Amino acid sequence: MSQQDLEIVVRLEQAMAKGDLKTAFADIDQDLVLYEPSSLPWGGTHRGHEAMMEAMQKLPIYWDFVGPPHIEARDAGDQIVMKLRFPVRSKKTGVSLDMEMVEFYKLVDGKVTEIKIFWYDTAAYLQQM
One-letter amino acid identity for 49?
H
> For the domain that residue 20 is a member of, what is the CATH number?
3.10.450.50
Question: What domain range includes position 100?
Answer: 3-127
* DSSP conformation letters of the chain: --HHHHHHHHHHHHHHHHT-HHHHHHTEEEEEEEEE-TTSTT-EEEEHHHHHHHHHTTHHHHEEE-SPPEEEEEE-SSSEEEEEEEEEEETTT--EEEEEEEEEEEEETTEEEEEEEEES-HHHHHHT-
Q: What is the per-residue pLDDT across 2-40, written as a single tens digit (0 to 9) for each?
A: 899 999 999 998 888 887 888 889 999 999 999 999 999
- The verdict on pTM exceeding 0.85 is yes
Total domains present in the chain: 1
